[in-house]
Amino acid sequence: MTLQRSWVASAQAANTDFPLHNLPFGVFRDWEGDDAPRVGVAIGDRVLDVSALKASLFDGVAKRAADACAESTLNALMSLGSEYATALRARLIELLDASHADIETNKKAVQPALIAMKDAEMLLPAQIGDYTDFYASIHHATNVGLMFRPDTPLLPNYKHIPVGYHGRASSIVVSGTAIKRPQGQSKSDDAEAPSFGPTKMLDYELEMGAFIGGGNSLGEPIAIKDARTHLFGLCLVNDWSARDIQRWEYQPLGPFLAKNFGTTISPWVVTMDALEPFRARAFARAQGDPAPFPHLYDETDQTSGALDVIVEAWLESAKMRDDGFEAVRLSRGNMKNLYWTLAQMVVHHTSNGCNFKPGDLIATGTISGEEKESRGCLIERTWRGAEPLTLPTDETRTFLQDGDTVILKAYCERDGLRIGFGECRGTVSA
In angstroms, the CA 216 to CA 350 distance is 8
User: What pLDDT is attached to residue 220?
Assistant: 98
Is the same domain home to 135 and 109? no
Give the domain CATH number at 55: 2.30.30.230
Q: Which whole number is the average pLDDT over 244-268?
A: 95
Q: Looking at the structure, tell me whether residues 226 and 373 fall in a common domain.
A: yes
Peptide bond into 252 cis (omega under 30): yes
Checking if the pLDDT of 33 tops 70, the result is: no
> Could you tell me which of 213, 261, 264, 317 has the C-alpha nearest to residue 423?
264
Radius of gyration of the chain (CA): 22
Give residue 251's pLDDT band: very low, low, confident or very high (50, 70, 90). confident
- pLDDT, mean of residues 151-168: 96
Do 202 and 283 fall within a single domain?
yes
Domain around 77: 9-123
State the virtual CA torsion across 258, 264, 269, 274 in degrees, nearest 10.
-70
Q: Are residues 175 and 259 in the same domain?
A: yes
- Is 4 part of any domain? no
Question: Is residue 1, in this structure, part of any structural domain at all?
Answer: no
pLDDT band at 35 (very low <50, low <70, confident <90, very high): confident
**Per-residue pLDDT at 428 exceeds 80:** yes
Question: 163 with 18, same domain?
Answer: no
Same domain, 35 and 151: no
Please identify every residue annotated as catalytic.
140
67-78: average pLDDT? 97
pLDDT for 83: 95
105-129 mean pLDDT: 97
Say if residue 70 is in the same domain as residue 142. Answer: no
| CB contact burial 124-140 (16+ within 10 A = b; e otherwise) | bbbebebbbbbbbbbbb
Is 3 part of any domain? no
Q: Give the SS3 label for residue 161.
A: coil
Confidence check: pLDDT of 356 > 90: yes
What is the distance of C-alpha 6 from the center of its chain? 26
DSSP character at residue 4? P
Pairing of strands 46-49, 38-43: antiparallel
What pLDDT, on a 0 to 100 scale, did the predictor assign at position 31?
Answer: 74
Same domain assignment for residues 112 and 209: no
Say if residue 225's pLDDT is above 80. yes
Q: What does the pLDDT read at residue 34? A: 66
- Assign residue 176 the CATH number of its domain: 3.90.850.10
Q: Are 365 and 315 in contact (CB under 8 A)?
A: no
**CB-based contacts of 392: which residues, under 8 Å, 6+ apart?**
320, 325, 328
One domain, residues 117 and 151: no
pLDDT tens-digit series, residues 291-340: 999 999 999 999 999 999 999 999 999 999 999 999 999 999 999 999 99
112/375 Cα distance (integer angstroms): 44
DSSP 6: B
The answer to the question of residue 400 being in a domain is yes
Taking every pair of Cα atoms in the chain, the longest distance, rounded to a whole number of angstroms, is 76
Asked if residue 213 is part of any domain, the answer here is yes
For residues 114 and 43, what is the distance between their CA atoms, to the nearest angstrom? 9
370 in the same domain as 277: yes
Chosen domain end from 93, 123, 153:
123
Q: Of the residues 70, 99, 123, which one is the last residue of a structural domain?
A: 123
Quote the CA–CA distance of 215 and 80 in Å, as a whole number: 10
- In this predicted structure, what is the pLDDT of residue 32? 66
**Number of C-beta neighbours around residue 294 at 10 A:** 8
> In terms of C-beta density within 10 A (0-12 exposed, 13-18 middle, 19 or more buried), how is residue 145 classed?
middle
- CA distance linking residue 69 with residue 64, whole number of Å: 9
End residue of a domain, out of 94, 123, 152: 123
Confidence at 1, pLDDT banded by 50, 70, 90: low
How does the average pLDDT of the chain come out, rounded? 96
Do 104 and 149 lie in one domain? The reply is: no
Asked if residue 2 is part of any domain, the answer here is no
pTM for the whole structure: 0.97
Using alpha carbons, select from 307, 317, 313 the residue that is nearest to residue 427: 317
Q: Are residues 66 and 135 in the same domain?
A: no
If one counts the domains in the chain, the total is 2
